[in-house]
Amino acid sequence: MRLKNLEINGFKSFSRKTVLEFQNPIVSIVGPNGSGKSNVVEALRFVLGEQSIKSMRGSLGSDLIFKGSKNLPKSSRAVVAIYFDNSDKIFKLSNETGENINLNYDVISISREVYPDGLNKYILNGSEVRLKDINNLLSSVNIGSSGHQIISQGEADRILNASPRDRREMVEDALGLKIYQYKIKEAGRKLERTTDNMKEVSLLRRENAPHLNFLKKQVDKFEKAKEMQITLLSLYKEYFKKEDIYLEKERSSLLLERNKISSELKSVKEKISEVDVVDKKEENKNEEELKILEKKIGEIHGIKNEIEHKLGRLEGMMEMEEHRKEKMPEVVIKNSGEIKEIFDEISSEIEGAIVEDNIAEVKIILLRIRNILKEFSGNIISSGPRFSGSLSRPDHSKTIFPENPELKKNQQEILVEMQNIKEEENKIFEKIEILKRKIIQENETLHTREKEKFNFRVRYQELASSLGLISVKEENLAKEIEAFKNEIKEGSILIGSEILSYKSFEIKGSIDRSIQEELKKKIERIKIKLEDVGLGGGSEVIKEFEEVSRRDNFLAKEMEDLAVSIESLRKLMADLKEKIDIEFKNGVEKINKEFHKFFSLMFNGGTGSLSIIIENKKKSSVAETSEDEEEENIVQEQGIEINVSLPHKKVKELNALSGGERSLASIALLFAMSQVNPPPFLVLDETDAALDEANSCKYGDMLEKLSQHSQLIVVTHNRETMSRADILYGVTIGNDGASKLLSVKLDEATAIAK
């Protein structure tokens, strides 16, 4: 058993989910007119991919959805699902490339949904697929889109009324050749697409051809100039290498000379600075020391003069006392302490004058000493009576004008000090003489250093000038290097990146600048020729030519591949057509055998057979042509013709058969077709309506024979037909206005049939 279940939900008169199980060889669906039993057949058509809404008694997809009733709302969609047993993995499905898709399922479920806007969905085992996939899948088990496995009321003689070509398609469908037709159509679509691609590729090649030819001419022109390029490259290598070596040598030489001059310049500058510092230090030191000594000599002269003045005054005082001694008598002084105080005071003032450096202060001290002496002198003259004692001739130690030891002492001290001052003065004079000689010697050394410094400065100016000249040379060299780089750029435009290969070029011998000039002239002459040829962008043109050539070669290869593909597709189509033709002829022979048996059974004799005929037809969409062209546009098509011969009658034409005879003939033919390549199931929708009781028995016998190879779903009012069923499904309209399903077992069906 292949067919397992059929689920209907929201489809036409079935508002609720309704399940029909097919566990028996013959299942009969019965019910009064208008109950919806034919909707079961249409549900089968629907889920198997029927595209004609009209064949399902509708005009739009929304007509297939339950409209609702007084007691039930309308459905939002119609869903029908069918389940097949696939435990033997007989169902097959292939992709666009012909590879089989894994269908490792024990049960194959196909579901179709339709929505109010007409949208349809096809679902295979829970995955949404295309109608094309559903058709390919069903064709693998001989369930074709022509619906030969579903024979509805009024359509039993459709095969009799069909054209020979349509009959051929029905027979091919029944023989399971539809899968090859699908492959031929798919190959035809691929062939059409491939042919279109080939036209596009050919158009692209034609469009590219003028540009490719132009580039080819340009490349030919460049090829002619190739020798000049090679010669130019050779000259460039030698010229650039020599120029590079020369410039690098010049740069290194100038750098070395700059470093040498800069180093010497720095050394000379440091020596000049050193001479300046030494001269300044020595000159300042000697001059400062000389100034200090001269200042000290001046101070000594001042002190010496002051001391001489002191000594002169002291000697004057001593002379004055001597003079008084001679004129005045000797007086004995009783109060000698007072005299001692006066001399002590004078001595103290003299000591202060000795240590005083300031002449003005020394003068003030001398004035004080003079005042003291005047006062002392006045006291002696006026104080005769005040002295106690008598005027007598005393001894030498007690006279009124005795010899003054303090004055004598002061005199000696001043003389000693004078002697010391003179000695110190002599020493300083000696130092001054030595220092002067030293300054003279240093002046001579300074003169020598000044001369040396002058020489250093002259050398500094020479070096600075040389350094400036080096800078000028470096600037000129930089310009030459820049010009050299520009020449390389120009060379790369003419030759390309190969110009840089000059770096590995080997130079033998020395570099002669005159030879370089000759090389440059040769290069310039070739450059002018190449520029006249227009080779400036040669590398770009060649690159573009190569790209366009590669593109053209690719398109040519693609043309070849497409041509091979077209040839392969044509061969495939030819092979498939040949296969169909062979299997079709063999199938017709097998159908004829079965057709003869069923026909004889239905008519108690007679013969029925199919014959293959050839029809000449014009190709479609052909404009007005000549007679010769018309003959070329005529194609031959195979068709099927039905031949019958009734017993005891001379009727051989189908048009001469009565309605009952036509029904019996069509049933016999359909049953014969189903026996050659049995489908998993057959649906017979009241195909026995026109049969009488005797023929109904024959019809029942044929059902039992057919049920050995296919499950039968029979919609009938015929009791004889019902009696051959294993289970009956009764369809009725409930109070809610929707179809309901009741099942009746065989014993109950037998009682009802009787």
3-state secondary structure 549-618: HHHHHHHHHHHHHHHHHHHHHHHHHHHHHHHHHHHHHHHHHHHHHHHHHHHHHHHCCCEEEEEEEEEEEE
**Bridge partners (DSSP) listed for residue 640:** 612
pLDDT at 113: 94
Amino acid at 535: L
In a domain, 5, yes or no: yes
Please enumerate, as own/partner, the contacts of 353-359 that have beta carbons within 8 Å and a separation of 24 or more.
353/306, 353/310, 354/307, 354/310, 354/413, 354/414, 354/417, 357/299, 357/302, 357/303, 359/302, 359/306
Q: pLDDT-based confidence at 404, cuts 50/70/90?
A: low
User: Domain total for the chain?
Assistant: 1
The SS3 call for residue 7 is strand
Q: How many CB atoms neighbour CB 349 within 10 A?
A: 17
Say yes or no to pLDDT of 1 above 60. no
Work out the burial of residue 156: count CB atoms within 10 Å of its CB; fewer than 13 is exposed, 13-18 middle, 19 or more buried.
Answer: buried
Q: pLDDT-based confidence at 391, cuts 50/70/90?
A: very low
User: How does pLDDT run across 415-460, given as a tens digit for each residue?
Assistant: 787 788 878 778 888 887 887 777 777 777 777 777 877 887 888 8
In a domain, 189, yes or no: no
Q: Alpha-carbon distance 141 to 143, whole Å? A: 6
Q: pLDDT-based confidence at 234, cuts 50/70/90?
A: confident
Handedness of CA 528, 529, 532, 533 (dihedral sign): negative
Please, what is the end-to-end C-alpha distance for the chain in angstroms?
29
Lowest pLDDT segment from 72-81, 343-352, 617-626, 672-681: 617-626
Mean of pLDDT over the chain? 79
Q: Alpha-carbon distance 477 to 250, whole Å? A: 8
User: How does pLDDT run across 539-582, given as a tens digit for each residue?
Assistant: 677 788 888 888 888 888 888 888 888 888 888 888 888 888 88
In a domain, 593, yes or no: no
Q: Alpha-carbon distance 109 to 103, whole Å? A: 11
Q: Alpha-carbon distance 342 to 348, whole Å? A: 10
Say yes or no to pLDDT of 176 above 80. no
**What does the pLDDT average to over 33-45?**
87
CATH number of the domain that 754 lies in? Answer: 3.40.50.300
pLDDT at 121: 93
- Alpha carbon distances (Å) from 166 to 148, 579, 640: 12, 19, 8
Closest CA to 41 of 153, 124, 130: 153
Say yes or no to pLDDT of 333 above 60. no
Domain range for 39 is 1-143+716-754
In a domain, 59, yes or no: yes
In a domain, 741, yes or no: yes
In a domain, 57, yes or no: yes
Q: pLDDT-based confidence at 61, cuts 50/70/90?
A: confident
**Residues 620, 622, 627, 633, Cα dihedral to 10°:** -50
In a domain, 748, yes or no: yes
**What does the pLDDT average to over 72-88?**
91
Q: Which two tokens stand for residue 702?
A: 């044929």
Q: Please say whether the beta carbons of 731 and 66 come within 8 A.
A: no
pLDDT at 748: 61
Q: Alpha-carbon distance 647 to 599, whole Å? A: 11
In a domain, 167, yes or no: no
